[in-house]
Chain A
Amino acid sequence: MATTTKIALAGEGGQGVQSVAEIMVEAANDEGKEALYIPNFGVEQRGGVSVAYCQISDEKVGSPKFKFADLVIALSDRAVRRTKQYVNANTVFIYDSSIQDVESDLPTNAKKVLAIPALEVAKKELHPRVFNVIIMGAAIEATKVIKMDDAKKALEKRLGYKFQQDPQLRELNYKALEKGAELVKGLL
């Protein structure tokens, strides 16, 4: 049987969940892996809970939806509640430590539940805009589903035109990736 890594990312619309998912699966595809990603959202253009389902595998991926994820990352209180259903004994559940009043909603059946200060790091050390790239770094480190170098290449592909105008952005984004990985390293 092929190994398929299933990742569910969820947050409020505008937090960059879909962008992270798209870049990750693009990177996996470029690496020669099979990848499938679907977004899930309501009708509002902005706001509302935004969920991305990513599957990365050696073989063609089956059903676009999955019952339980290997990794869940939730970036808001609504996202925590919405993604609980994807958690089982094999799931690593990561959430941002800035989310308020969410302790009672956290899953109790996960393999591991981890709070990371991604938003805080973004605000204090980097820039609030790269919050989702930090999350991406964390996701990659937690699943080892793609190589960090391929993630950087995919970022370049997507944002290269912005990096050209302001090379500091490239540094910022790469740092965010690495910072995200750091936040998770050794804790799993």
Chain B
Amino acid sequence: MTKVPNMPKSWRQETKPHKFCPGCGHGLVLKALGEAIDELGIQDRVVFGCDIGCSLLAWDFFNVDTVQTHHGRTTPVLTGVKRARPDRICIAYMGDGGGYAIGSQHLVNAAARNEKLTVILVNNCNYGMTGGQMAPTTLPDMKTETSPYGRNVAETGYPTQGPEMVAAITREGAYAARGTVANVRQLKGFIKKALQNQIDGNGFSFVEALSGCPTNWSTNAKDTWAFIEETMTKYFKVGEIKAPAKKEE
């Protein structure tokens, strides 16, 4: 009999093995999230939303009520859920396209309104599911299907700094951090703080996770990790960017 690997309790066993590509970072981010949900004991309060793109493959991932939305619309849908049911813990899960391109206006406005939401955004520098097109977080000179000669920053700008943007436009009470699948323990810590921030009713919480996409990067395991750990970190700083001030006892 095949041994079932250890999984977070909030994961749904019946839908494993999951459909993400071999070597994809989503599995690790969802593991960090699953463990965070378990450790905070909120599984029965969570409403989970996923976007279009590879994040949509998480639609039946957890034993948690989930809605797969349209591209970029996970933030507003979960905003709608949260405002209707403030006691639920609402998590909007998306990729760099869903958050920084088509979903950017919703992200900006949710942040500006300090929505009591937790947004988890997986950044792998490309549009994975549609076959590897350029994304807002594609690195300078990086080749993608729609930047076949390399991303020209003069024409298309520099990679979006998401958590920094959220930090800049939010007030006190918001939380913004960037983790990486290269350090799942740290990522889980950020996710837990982001969720706790929602539980405490402080404000908008945002965690970006640097992740890998060997399928569209066309990299082997070694090069995938090198890209995440060494190359991406040149443009995306890992760490907490904003956290609510500690309340005076």
**In the complex, chain B residues whose CB is within 8 Å of the CB of A44:** 19, 21, 57, 129
The A-contacting residues of B in range 195-249, CB under 8 angstroms, are 215-216
- Are the CB atoms of A43 and B21 closer together than 8 Å? no
Interface of A, secondary structure class, is loop
Contact call B22/A45, Cβ cutoff below 8 A: no
Contact A43 B22 (CB under 8 A): no
0/1 interface trace, chain B 1-36, chain A, CB 8 Å (1 if under): 000000000000000000101100000000000000
**Interface residues as binary, A33-76 with B (CB distance below 8 Å gives 1, 0 otherwise):** 00000000001111110000000000000000000000000000
B22: chain A residues at CB < 8 Å are 46
Q: Is B56 an interface residue (CB 8 A)?
A: yes
Give the contacts of B129-146 with A (CB-CB under 8 A).
129, 131
Report if B128 contacts A (CB, 8 A): yes
Would B129 and A43 count as touching, CB distance under 8 A?
Answer: yes
Contacts of B128 in A (CB 8 A): 45
The A-contacting residues of B in range 53-86, CB under 8 angstroms, are 54, 56-57
Q: How near does chain B come to A45, taking the closest CB pair, in angstroms?
A: 5
Residue in A43, A45, A47, A48 whose Cβ sees the most chain B Cβ within 10 Å:
A45
Bound CA–CA A44/B130 (angstroms): 9
Chain A proximity of B72: nearest CB distance (Å): 17
CA distance A48 to B54 in the complex (A): 14
Tell me which residues across on chain B come within 8 A of A45, comparing CB atoms.
Answer: 21, 54, 128-129, 131, 215-216
Q: A43's closest neighbor in chain B, by CB?
A: B129
CA of A46 to CA of B22, assembled, Å? 8
In the bound complex, CA of A123 to CA of B29 (Å): 35
A–B Cβ pairs within 8 angstroms, 20 of them? A43-B56, A43-B57, A43-B129, A44-B19, A44-B21, A44-B57, A44-B129, A45-B21, A45-B54, A45-B128, A45-B129, A45-B131, A45-B215, A45-B216, A46-B21, A46-B22, A46-B215, A47-B19, A47-B21, A48-B19
4 additional A-B residue pairs with CB within 8 Å, beyond A45-B129, A46-B21, A46-B22: A44-B57, A44-B129, A45-B131, A45-B215
Q: 10 tightest CB-CB pairs across the interface, nearest first?
A: A46-B21, A44-B19, A45-B215, A45-B21, A47-B19, A45-B129, A46-B215, A43-B129, A45-B128, A44-B57
